[in-house]
Amino acid sequence: MFKMRFIFSLAVSVFTLAAMAQENVSNIRIEQSDEQLIILYDLAEKADIEVFVSFDGGVTFEGPLQHVMASVGKAVESGVDKVIVWNVYREFGEIDYENTVIKIVANDPDYVDTPTFSVDTTASDSWTRMAEFFGASRNGAVGFAIGNKGYIGTGTDGSKHLNDFWEYDQVSNSWTQKADFAGGAKNGAVGFAIGNKGYIGTGFFRGSGRKHFWEYDPVSNSWTKKANFAGNSISWAVGFSIGDKGYIGTGWSSRKGYLKNFWEYDPVSNRWTKKANFPGGARSWAVGFSIGEKGYIGTGQNRRNRSDFWEYDPLSNSWTRIADFPGEARSWAVGFSVGNKGYVGTGGRSQDFWEYDPVSNSWTRIADFPGRSRRGAAGFSIGNKGYIGTGSDSQDVFVNLQDFWEYTP
Point out the domain boundary residue: 123, 149, 174.
Answer: 123
Strand partners, 36: 33, 87
pLDDT of residue 97: 61
Residues 215 and 233 in one domain: yes
H helical segments located in 107-237: none
Q: How far apart are CA 282 and CA 236, in angstroms?
A: 12
Point out the domain boundary residue: 72, 100, 123.
Answer: 123
Neighbour count for residue 120 (Cβ, 10 Å): 9
Residue 346 clears pLDDT 90, i.e. is over it: yes
**Average pLDDT value over all residues in the chain:** 86
Strand partners, 139: 156
The answer to whether 295 and 287 have CB atoms below 8 angstroms apart is no
Please choose, from the candidates 160, 163, 168, 164, the residue with its C-alpha nearest in 3D space to the C-alpha of residue 133: 168
pLDDT of residue 14: 31
pLDDT of residue 251: 96
Residues 161 and 200 in one domain: yes
Q: How far apart are CA 341 and CA 247, in angstroms?
A: 19
Residues 116 and 249 in one domain: no
Residues 193 and 315 in one domain: yes
User: Against a cut of 0.85, is the pTM above it?
Assistant: no
pLDDT of residue 114: 33
pLDDT digits (tens, 9 = 90+) for 99-108: 777 777 777 7
The secondary structure element, H or E, covering residue 88 is: helix 88-92
Residues 53 and 149 in one domain: no
The CATH number given to whatever domain includes residue 202 is 2.120.10.80
Q: How far apart are CA 256 and CA 267, in angstroms?
A: 27
pLDDT of residue 212: 94
195: left (phi > 0), else alpha (psi -120 to 50), else beta? left
Domain containing 34 equals 5-123
List of E strands, 158-212: 165-169, 174-178, 190-194, 197-201, 204-205, 208-209
Q: How far apart are CA 217 and CA 254, in angstroms?
A: 31
Strand partners, 30: 39
pLDDT digits (tens, 9 = 90+) for 101-146: 777 777 776 543 333 333 344 568 999 999 999 999 999 999 999 9
pLDDT of residue 95: 63
pLDDT of residue 17: 32
Please choose, from the candidates 385, 329, 330, the residue with its C-alpha nearest in 3D space to the C-alpha of residue 170: 385
Residues 148 and 196 in one domain: yes
The secondary structure element, H or E, covering residue 48 is: strand 47-54
Q: How far apart are CA 208 and CA 229, in angstroms?
A: 15
- Indicate the burial class of 244 (C-beta count within 10 angstroms; 0-12, 13-18, 19 or more): exposed
Domain count along the chain: 2
Residues 33 and 70 in one domain: yes
Neighbour count for residue 60 (Cβ, 10 Å): 10
pLDDT of residue 52: 81
Span 11-34, mean pLDDT? 52
Residues 101 and 152 in one domain: no
pLDDT digits (tens, 9 = 90+) for 43-69: 888 888 888 887 777 778 788 888 778
Residues 233 and 87 in one domain: no
Please choose, from the candidates 380, 299, 302, the residue with its C-alpha nearest in 3D space to the C-alpha of residue 347: 299
Residues 62 and 199 in one domain: no
Q: Where is average pLDDT lowest: 91-95, 241-245, 350-354?
A: 91-95
pLDDT of residue 357: 98
Span 141-162, mean pLDDT? 96
Q: How far apart are CA 231 and CA 248, in angstroms?
A: 9
Residues 116 and 136 in one domain: no
Residues 112 and 182 in one domain: no
Q: Output phi, psi for 116, to 5 deg.
A: -65, -20
Point out the domain boundary residue: 87, 102, 123.
Answer: 123
pLDDT digits (tens, 9 = 90+) for 219-232: 999 999 999 999 99
Q: End-to-end distance of the chain based on CA atoms, in angstroms? A: 31
Span 301-327, mean pLDDT? 97
